[in-house]
Structure 1
Amino acid sequence: MNPDDYRPDIVHQALLAILSSALCLAGRVSAIFIRTGEGILIKVDPQTRIPKTFGNFCNMMVELLQKSSIKSKDNEGKLLKLIQNPVTQHLPANSLKIGLSFNSPKTVKIRDFVAANCDKNLVFVVGAMPHGNIDADYIDDFIPVSGYPPSADTCLYRICDALESNWKIF
């Protein structure tokens, strides 16, 4: 296998970005889903604390794949768990599913997009891969967040910033 096609470090950085955001800390993130290249679907509870070091993150993910879930220390719930496909059955009903794509012909400022769609359940699909396009037939529309190809964590920082600004979370 080509190691450039499998980049758990990108997923690690993306999770750190969203889980440490004011948006998540304010309780405005309902769930995070990860789909692996092999089609495994993982649900991440927004209360999860992702290890800061990449090695510990990898150990946690190996444990998840072996046990199918990781419970909180007080056994109140599952912080990470493998769930059944398709992801659409886990998304809010009537949500607007937006894929991020540098190649989108639209020119949209993410803050303007969020403000114009604040009355909808927004689901953002971010590719945590070094190159390529998101392959998901359930996406309603694709928008860019930059005129340049940004990293996954940069996309998430911009989305979180736009939502925090719209909802006045500081």
Structure 2
Amino acid sequence: FMPHQGKKRELKEEDKLQEDSEQEIDQQLFYGDDDIVQDKTITAGLISDAPKLPKNFEERQNWKRLIVILEACQLQITKNRRGDNELINCDDHQRTIKNMGKRYEDFRPDITHQCLLSLMDSPLNKAGKLQVIIRTNKNVMIEINPHMRVPRTYKRFAGLMTQCLTKFKIKAEGSQTVLMKVIKNTFDKVLPVGVRMIGTSSKAKLVDLQEYVDNLEEMDNDKPVAFIIGGVSVGNPAMEVEGISDAVCISNYGLSAAC
């Protein structure tokens, strides 16, 4: 009898700790580095210095750039105890994930955050030669403005992405500049005509990346190229995308998506 009571007491304490933790997460959802960022000002400071971008359809078709598609990104929303939307992640929503009957590794939005930090801060993007597109595991497609400065902290990124997925568009504070927007889920409407799509995976054939890119230029220098990278911790979604012309592995070692 006594051991049973002790077990019930432990479970109640565990539930209380979980509830306190979830409340703390709710309060900190839109925190920046130091100060709280309200929903209406979540985009403050998210425009970076970047070169001129194409303004019309013709310029966009002739825009010479590398296209990176982050495939099967695990961006899924749930409602917290207050009824507010937030991004599910494997650290803060273990009970939710368990109730859904899903695996913890299937909820890693931090991978998308890491990828965007690496891509948007790259010299290639600063030179106006990069286009980034996200496609989630729920087939929602999001286009990223090259001018966007990705939030440095995950919590602020999660708040921004939640707002994008619920309102379908994010504008910079005090500006009409669209930083992120949900677009039609079809590559035909987003990618230029004749694009060559290449999947990446540790299970694909191993290539020397520099030699591979040089060969692509020799084959058709004017043909745009899109590399597809799985925004996941397990699996090879980039090899399963319809329309890819090739699949490659660029290292003998297993690399994170952000590499």
The structure in which a higher percent of residues are strand is 2
Say whether residues 1:123 and 2:226 are aligned partners: yes
Query: In 1, are the aligned partners of 2:145 and 2:178 still within 8 Å (CA)?
Result: yes
Partner of residue 138, structure 1: 243
Q: SS state of the match for residue 241, structure 2? A: coil
* 3-state DSSP of counterpart to 2:199: strand
One-letter amino acid matched to 2:127 = A
1:43–1:81 contact (8 Å) kept in structure 2: yes
User: Structure with the greater relative contact order (CA < 8 A, sep ≥ 6): 1 or 2?
Assistant: 1
Equivalent residue runs for 1:42-81 within 5 Å: 42-81=142-181
Structure 2 gaps of 5+ residues are 1-101
TM-superposed CA distance for 1:77, in Å, is: 2.6
Partner of 1:152: helix, strand, or coil? coil
Give CA deviations for 1:29-86 in whole Å, capped at 9, x if unaligned.
1x21111111111111111111010000000011111211001234343110011111
Q: Does structure 1 conserve the Cα–Cα contact (< 8 Å) formed by 2:169 and 2:178?
A: yes
Contact conserved, 1:88 with 1:138, CA < 8 A, in 2? no
**Which residue of structure 1 aligns with residue 195 of structure 2?**
95
Kindly name which structure, 1 or 2, has the bigger radius of gyration based on alpha carbons.
2
The letter of the residue matching 1:146 is: S
CA distance in 2, matches of 1:46, 1:80: 10
CA distance in 1, matches of 2:103, 2:206: 34
Matches of 1:18 and 1:41, distance apart in 2: 17
Q: Which residue of 2 aligns with 1:161?
A: none
Q: Are residues 1:108 and 2:213 paired?
A: no
Give 2:135's aligned residue. 35
CA distance in 1, matches of 2:227, 2:140: 19
Look up the SS of the partner of 1:46 in the other structure. Answer: coil
- TM-score, with structure 2 as normaliser: 0.56
Bigger shift: 44-53 or 110-119?
Answer: 110-119
Moved over 3 A (4+): none
TM-score of the pair, normalised by structure 1: 0.85
Residue 79 of structure 1 aligns to a residue whose secondary structure is strand
RMSD: 1.3
